[in-house]
Each structure stands twice: as C-alpha cells, then as structure tokens.
Chain A
Amino acid sequence: MLNKKTYDRLGETVYQATLTNGLKVLMVPKAGFHKTFAIMTTDYGAMDNEFVPRGQQQPVRFPDGIAHFLEHKLFEKKDHDAFDLFGKYGASANAFTGFTQTSYLFATTSHLKENLEILLDFVQDPYFTPATVNKEKGIIGQEIQMYDDDPGWQSYFGMIGHLYPKEPLHIDIAGTVDSIDRITADDLYAAYNTFYHPSNMSLVIVGQLDPEETLAWITANQDAKTFAPNEPITRVPSPQAKPADIVADSTRQLTVSRPKVSIGLRGFDTVPAGRDGLRYSVAVSLMFDLLFNDTSDNYLRLYDANVIDDSFGYDFQVQRGAHFAQLAGDTDRPEQFANELSAILADAPAQLAAAKPQFDLVKREAVGRIVGAINSVEGIANQYDGPLFDGATIFDELTILEQLSFDELLAAARDFLAQSRQTVYTILP
C-alpha cells in the first residue's frame, strides 16, 4: 500500500499511497529537521469557473474569483475558525489559490497528528452561510485593492490578460469587487462538492515524520468519514483565443518611478503528457537560462547598454491547460527593451547554437538551485505538481535535469517558440 522510492545519492526517500477514497498521500521524511510541513491541494483553481456541479446535469458558469473565495471561507466554521485550532499548538497555517489549484497548509514543530487532523477536518467539513459569505466580501475587496496598488502584480496580470484574452486567466485570481459580490453560499457548496472530493486532492507531508505512523493517522481519519461516490468531473473548456487574437503590445499608465515592461510568450504547442511534460518544462526553462541569464553574452550587452538592470528576470511555467513565459524588468528604455529581447527570441536557433559552450554552466546552476531547494521542506512539497506531471517530485526533476542533453533542449525550444505568440505590456510612469 505504501510505495517507497529511494534516491540513494541524495539520501532521500519518497513514500506514496492512494487511500480507498482516492486521496493521494505523499510523504518525505527529513532526518534532523524540526519542522513538518503539510499541504493539501485540490486540482481546482481560478481557471475552473464553468463546470457541471456534482449531482447535476447541466454546466453552470460561476462568478470569477469563486475558488479563491471558497479558500477564504473554508477556515470559518459555525462556532470556530480553523486558524484558532492550529493556533492552539502554535502551528502556522495558511492557504493560497492559483489558476489550477487551491492549497491549504500548515507548518509545525510538534503535535503533527493533531494538526493533520485539524487540516483534514476543516478542509472536509464546509460551513457556508449567507451571513459569513457576505462578511468575507469586505476582506477580499481589500485584498483585491491591495493588489491594485502593486505595480509588479499589475504588470504580471496585464501581460497574462493579453496572452489569454478569452480565457478565465485574464481575470485576477481573486476576481473583481463586482464578481465576488455575486457569490452565494450555494455557489460555494456547488464548487466544494464538485472539486473537494478526496479523489481530486493530494496531501503532501515533508519533514519530521514517521511514514507508517503518519499514514495510519490519515487513514483512520478518512475511514471515519463518509464520502460521496467518486465521479468524474466535467469542466467546460473555457473559450480559447486564437494566435491571431493575441494583442502584440499595449501600454498603461501607473504611478511608478520607472517604466516596467513585461514580455509574455504563450505556447500554442501541446505540452507532452505526464513526466515528459516535466522534461519539456525543464528544457524550455534551461533555454531561457541560456538566452537570458546573467552568464549570457546578451545579458552583459544589454546591461551595459542600460537596457536591463538587476530588476530583470524571467520565468517559464506550465499549468493545466496553459504554458507561458514572462520576461520582465524596469527600464528607462522600454522600446529598446522590447525590441532587443524580441530580436533575441526571433533569432533563438542561432543564439542557442552560439551559446552551446554555456550549456554545461547553466545546467550546473540549475542543478545547484534544485539541490538547494531540497534543503527546505516547503521547497520539496511545493515542487510537487500532482496530476500535471504524473506525480513527479523535485527528486525526479533533478534526475531529468541531469540527464537532459543539448539536443533535447533545442527540440523543446523549437516546439515552444515556433508556435508561440508574444505580447508586450508596458507600464509607463
């Protein structure tokens, strides 16, 4: 029942089990650590706003921001708040919502069993009423406004909005002040009952723990509860923009000290399924390292020309149904920034061939980054992407990276870049 996979060189072991109700449990004991980090995730996020509610026949379109709203409300119960239960043991608890997932987590240095039971129980016992739902609207409204004042966030979401003009991604994860105002307690129950079934969830625990004992606690907790039969989930595919719908560039004015430019690249190619998807993701990320990281010739040239500075950064991410890259920075030369970086991307095959001598260097750097992340219980747990990469862990990612050849990198780069579309989003003072 408990599958064990050992990574000898790293001295790490991953334990995996799937309970009878479908809940996937993954555990990584860390010798010498004081802390245990646990994160329970549902494969449901801001993108999933149209679906057939469990027990119904017809799809329903829900207000934007419902997944995030549900995350906030799950902590509150009839006569208590789950935060306070963790508080009794000094554990720190939190939650977050992404495009395709919602996660609930805690970190503790004692009473792991009690804290795990609190986590499982509060996530699996929803309590929504019109009164508690209405009360939350003020808090989330302030959260949305806090991000309205954050230029970095505005730059990121402005870019995403242009890459995904028809998809739910163009709406802030938290929704809007207007959309959250329409959310009802019944909506929350419909979303909850559909996506919070154990078979759509995972529980990852890393740190000070005994795998057999911990699994026994979880199993006992789950066996004492009754769950609806496991049914497939029907999400309505969101409208999809065509490559021609991507707006090439746009500009917005905000109070910032310098212009902020965000270049987005949306992939229209198909990400390979399962572990090959992770291999693809690692390869494309390494391609961006070769083209743009601080060991590249491009970086020094653009830095010395005052086109980029230390604020420059880039990121490639793969999510369920979407993969995109962002290159962003503050610059006094926004047009040159966009033109120079676009030119490098357009010339990528030749650029990559020229950068081949740096392949071993950027690979070493990426290896070091992953080994460093293995120091942290959160680093290990957060790297688990569940069904997206067929349950791959950070240790699998390291193996993939170590085995990656330059030719594989070139192939993945070609797949991504050849069909990608670009947007340039500029914030001017």
Chain B
Amino acid sequence: MHFRIKDGVTLDLLPTKQFKTIGIKVDFVAPLQATAITARALLAQVLETSTAAYPTQTALARELSRLYGASFGISVLKLGTKHVIRLTCSLVDEQYLDNFGDQQALFDQGMALLKEVLFAPLLPNGNFDPTTFTQQRQNLLTAIKSLDDDKQYLANRRLQELLFTGQPTQAMSALGDIHVLNDLSATDILGTYHEMLAHDAVHVAVVGDVDEQRAKAAMADWPLADRAVEADSPYYRWSLRDHVQVGDDEAPVVQAKLNLAYQLPIYRDDPDFMAAVVFNAAFGGTPLSLLFTNVREKASLAYYASSGYSPFTGTLSVQTGIQAENQQRVEAIIAEQLAAVQRGELSEKLLAEVKASLLNARLAALDSPQRRLTGLLNTQLTHLHEPLAAWQEKLAKITVADVTRVAQQVTLQATYCLHGGVQGAE
C-alpha cells in the first residue's frame, strides 16, 4: 500500500503477520552533491547519538533497551545521483512477549522515538551540542580511516577513484571526505539539518502486523511540510574513455587485491535491464558463474572472484584476491570469460541455473523485513513498480541472445591492483 502524506512525503505499508517484529524505515533523499556528502554523513552520526529528551547516548540506549532492544540506526548511502540518510528501527511485536505491561504498543513508542530523533535533536542554545559534535566528528574521521584497514574495501575505493577521476560525487565514499570533515562546524550541519527537513524527499515505510489507520496515525504529528521534489533522473551517466586507466599501489598485504571496472551503460529503466542482471549473475555474480568456475575452481588462482553490477551508475566491477605474480594470467582469464559471452558462448545450462538462482534470491528476500523495506527505495527513485509475477515473466524470457547483446556493451575502463610488492603489478 502506497500513500502520499504530503507533497514529497510518502508512506509505504507492507502489512504481514509473517514476522515477530515491526520494521520502520525513513529515507531522506537529496541530490548527490560533492559538497554536501560529508556534512550529511556527519549529521546522520550526530542525530543518532542523542536527542533533547535523551541527551546522552546512554539515555538513548536505555530508552531503546526499555523498548525491548529496539534496533535503531541512521546510515547514509549513495545511489546513482542521490544521497540518502536512512533511519531504521525494528521493534518487537508485543503480542509475542511475556508479561508486556506498557500502556502503549512498541510500534507507537518507536515511532514517537523516531519523531524525537528527527524533530527534537539536542540543540542547547539553538545549535548542536559542542561536545557531542566534536566527538562525533572525530568518530566519523576515525571510522572513515578505519575503512581502509579492510584491504578489499581499500582496493575497491582506489578503483572507484581511478574510474571516476574528476567526478567527485562518484569517486567519494558515502561517508564523505576527511579533509572536508575537518572544516565542518556545528553551524554547518545545523544548516544541513534544516535543509534536509525542508527539502529532501521523504519516504517512510513500515513492515509488520500494522494496519493503515495505525501507521498513518503514528506519523500524523510529524511536522513535515509539503516540499517540491524534483523528478530528476537518479541515473549517473558518464562518457566512455578512450583507454583503460591502470593503477597499482604497494601495501603490506600478503594477498594481492585485483579489481576491474567496466562501463555497462544499461540503467534500471532500460529494456535490457533484466538481461544485464542475468549477465552479471552468469559472469561473476553467483558461485555458478564463469569467474568463480574459471578463476577459482579450474585455475585455483583465487579464493574469491566475483562481479557486481550497478544499474544506477552503469558500472560493472570485478573483485579478486590473488598472488601478485599471477595478475596477468588472472586478467587474461577474466577477459576471456567476457569475450566468450560476447561471442554468444553462454551455455543454456548456465543461463537456466542463474535464472533459477535469481528467482530464488528474489523470493528469499521476501522473508527479510529489512530487505522488504530497503527494496522500496528502488521503486521510489525510478517510479518503476514491477509486481513479482511480471518480474518473473520477464526473467523467464531472457535468452542467450539477450545476454550476448548486453555483454557486447561491456567495456573495460579501469584496472587496479593493491599488492605486496612481489614482482610488481606491471
């Protein structure tokens, strides 16, 4: 069920008795701007820490515990040309609790808490509390730096920087940039906060044993005004480069991380979108895929070798963990797998298997309240609503020729290797 609450504010309700919790998600969606990414990430971190009524993180944590361990968080993500600040909260449905004695249902208390977090943050003297602000800025700084301890993440980040040189919104992580972060003040993010409340598109969603009246009543007193939301494209389009960007770095790693990026200019609204999803699943997106089979199982060159496809940025990426001296062999095997699909050599057997696997994954997602909620953002951004039956029918119709046509649009754009310096990565 989909409702327009105000201009630019929507509510999606997924009523079901399948779960023992009630899940809530609130997305604040803004155009992706390099200057705003870092401030929004910091704002999310500060809002998550405390509120006027719960002025320390302990006070807030105790309230969450009192609500039977309500799991609450605020995260940020990038999707195509959009930046999203996402609040999530999951509450136990009290009909499953022993001796529940509260006056008010946990769902209603949870919605009231989200209202506190969003509309009554800790603002002594009209600005964010200086101690909280400084501490959370420092925490975000160390969080961004610590991300690089994960070498697979680091290799991927460097690949994105290489691929999107000069395109900061895409090169930057959703958490932002440490240099920008250092210069942000409490006043800056107060501005970001007011901007978010006034102008972001707001998508609220609820999954669980809740009816329309109860869901609407729970957010009836949220002070959200009408807002004009631009219906601009969520897709990030970029032009193909003449030659492949190549990069490598030496770092104290035992295993080299070799990552590749390709352009695959098929977006979510493209008639070939489903074929692109199937292509990715066959190429490297599943354990049945060509990359897993040929790089790992046949050549024993890697423990992981996989691909991912983003229909919002038109990119395909490949990740592998290998011995540095095998880089050329691995690149050759990957290139050969792509070339084979481009020549139409995908087997009917593999096609049928990856289609079955995609159907399985789609149905399995229905069993996860979180995935039911997060999956809604795609529809909200693209305005493409595809009921399960229609989706299934589309998937069933994909042929080897469809996948071949998609594969022929895949062009290598960047290659990056993070290695321990053994024989270099020439």
Contact = CB atoms under 8 A, between A and B. Distances in A.
Contact of B21 (A11, A149, A365, A372): A372
Interface stretch (A28-36, A278-286, A316-324, A408-416): A28-36
- Looking at A87, A152, A304, A358, the one whose CB has the most chain B CB atoms below 10 A away is A87
A303 B143 CA distance: 15
A362 interface: yes
B181 interface: no
A307 B266 CA distance: 48
B254 A83 contact: no
Given A149-B151, A257-B146, A258-B145, A143 B254 contact: no
Contacts of B139: 309-310
Interface in B11-33: 16-21
Contact of A109 (B66, B146, B364): B364
B356 A143 contact: no
B96 A87 contact: no
A18 B145 CA distance: 52
B245 interface: no
A145 B254 contact: yes
A90 B359 contact: yes
B296 interface: yes
B62 interface: yes
A150 B303 CA distance: 14
Interface stretch (B53-61, B185-193, B268-276, B404-412): B53-61
A306 B361 CA distance: 42
B1 interface: no
A9 B321 contact: no
Interface stretch (B36-44, B67-75, B118-126): B67-75
Interface in A118-177: 135-140, 142-143, 145-146, 148-152
A109 B97 contact: no
Given A107-B364, A255-B251, A83 B56 contact: no
A429 B287 CA distance: 35
- Looking at A110, A136, A138, A258, the one whose CB has the most chain B CB atoms below 10 A away is A138
A402 interface: yes
A91 B58 contact: no
A424 interface: no
B414 interface: no
Interface in A1-40: 9-11, 31-35
Interface stretch (A56-64, A187-195, A242-250, A291-299): A291-299
Contact of A9 (B62, B96, B360): B96
Contacts of B242: none
B363 A138 contact: no
A375 B352 CA distance: 31
Contact of A142 (B96, B149, B253, B321): B321
Interface stretch (B229-237, B366-374, B379-387): B366-374
25 contacts: A32-B18, A84-B288, A88-B352, A89-B356, A90-B356, A91-B360, A110-B360, A139-B296, A139-B302, A142-B303, A142-B321, A148-B254, A148-B255, A149-B151, A149-B255, A295-B62, A295-B65, A299-B61, A306-B135, A332-B142, A361-B66, A367-B68, A371-B96, A375-B21, A377-B367
Interface of B: 16-21, 56-58, 61-62, 64-71, 90-92, 96-98, 135, 138-139, 142-143, 145-146, 148-151, 251-255, 286-288, 296-297, 300-304, 321-323, 352-353, 355-361, 363-364, 366-369
Given A84-B353, A257-B149, 6 more contacts: A91-B357, A92-B287, A362-B65, A368-B68, A371-B92, A371-B97
